Amino acid sequence: MKLVTPPFNIEYARSRITRFIRDKVAEAGVDGVVLGLSGGVDSSVTLALAVEALGPKHVHTLVMPDTRVTPAEDIEDAYMLAEKFGVSITRVDIDPLVDAYASTLPFYNPEDKVSIGNLRARIRMSILYYYANIHNLLVCGTGDKSELFIGYFTKYGDGGVDLLPIGDLYKTQVRELGRALGLPDRIINKPSSPRLWEGHMAEDELGATYEVIDTILFYYLNLRMEPREIHRETDIPLKIIDMVVDRIYRYEHKRNTPPVCKLGVTTVGHDWRAPHKKD
C-alpha cells in the first residue's frame, strides 16, 4: 500500500495554534484552560501548545483514571508530562462515580461495554467543566482531525469542550508535531486508545491503522478523490476506504450542534409586524 502523512508546515501550525489558544482565552475573559491529560499523544501535544501559548501557570490538567481499565503507565506518563511542562495536575479516580451510576440506574447493563465506556467519557467531561467553572477556565479539547471526521469520540464526552486546538491536524501530523515539540518517543509512538474499557485500542476497534485512515482522509477530504480513485492510487482495499468514508457521513451529527426545528417568527404569540414597545 502507498501511505502518506498529509503534508503540513509544522512551524506555521505551531504558531497558528498557540495564537488561536491565546485569542480564545482572551475573548472569553478567563484565566486559562484545563484539559484532561491521558498520557497519549493528542493530550500531550495539546498540553505543550497550551503552555507555549499561555505559560504553565494558566494551564491546569486533570488525570481521571478508572483504575479498572486505565493502565498504570498512562497515569505515570500524565504525571511525567505535567512535571516536564511545569503545570498543575490533579488526580480524580472516577471508579466510584461509575459505580454510583451502576448502583442507581435501574437500566444499567454491565455487559454493554460501549455504553459504559461512553459514560466514563461523559463523567470526565462533567468533572472538567466543574473544575473550569470554579477556576474561571475554558475546557481545552484534545481531539484531532482524524477522530473528528470518523466520529471516533464520545458526543458530550471528550467531544464536549470549549476549543479544539489540534482539531485540524490529522493523527499522523499530531505525531510529527509532537516530535518537533520534544515529546518523548514513548508518548509519540504509544498506540492510541480512549481507554473506555479494559484492553481498548483504537486501531483494533476501527479496523485500520491511523496511517491508513489518514491517507484515505487526505485523499478524500483534501484532494477530493473518490473511493475507487483512492484505491487505484494507494492500493488500500476498497472495503476499508468505504468504511472510512461511510464514517465521515454517518457520524456527521457528532460534529454539528443539535438541529433546531424552525417554526418561524409568526409562532411567537404576537403580531411581529407591530412596532416594539419602548420603555
Average pLDDT over residues 68-84: 94
Total structural domains within the chain: 1
Q: Is 229 within a domain? A: yes
Where do the DSSP E strands lie in 64-196? Answer: 88-91, 138-139
* CA dihedral over 239, 240, 241, 246, signed as positive or negative: positive
Average pLDDT over residues 52-63: 98
| Amino acid code (one letter) for 243 | M
Q: Is 2 within a domain? A: no
To which H or E segment does residue 79 belong? helix 72-85
What pLDDT does residue 198 have? 65
Average pLDDT over residues 47-54: 98
* Pick from 38-52, 146-160, 165-179, 261-275: least confident: 261-275
Whether residue 157 has pLDDT greater than 60: yes
What pLDDT does residue 271 have? 60
What pLDDT does residue 264 have? 81
Across-strand partners of 60? 34, 88
Residue for grid cell 457520524 = 251
Average pLDDT over residues 22-45: 97
* Pick from 40-49, 117-126, 216-225, 268-277: least confident: 268-277
Q: Is 190 within a domain? A: yes
- Rounded to 5°, the CA angle 239-245-251 comes to 125
For the whole model, what pTM was predicted? 0.90
Whether residue 193 has pLDDT greater than 70: no
Residue for grid cell 467553572 = 133
Whether residue 278 has pLDDT greater than 60: no
Q: Is 3 within a domain? A: no
Q: Is 266 within a domain? A: no
Q: What is the pLDDT of residues 85-109, one digit of tens each?
A: 999 999 999 999 999 999 999 999 9
Q: What is the domain extent for residue 58?
A: 10-255
The residues near 7 (Cβ < 8 Å, ≥ 6 apart) are none
Average pLDDT over residues 166-173: 97
Q: Is 267 within a domain? A: no
Q: What is the pLDDT of residues 233-261, one digit of tens each?
A: 999 999 999 999 999 999 999 999 999 99
CATH of the domain at 66: 3.40.50.620
Q: Is 141 within a domain? A: yes
Whether residue 267 has pLDDT greater than 80: no
Cell of 271: 403580531
Q: Is 269 within a domain? A: no
* Pick from 44-48, 113-117, 165-169: least confident: 113-117
Indicate the average pLDDT of the chain. 92
Q: What percent of the chain has pLDDT over 90?
A: 82
Whether residue 4 has pLDDT greater than 90: no
What pLDDT does residue 161 have? 98
What pLDDT does residue 118 have? 94
CB 158 within 8 A of CB 143: yes
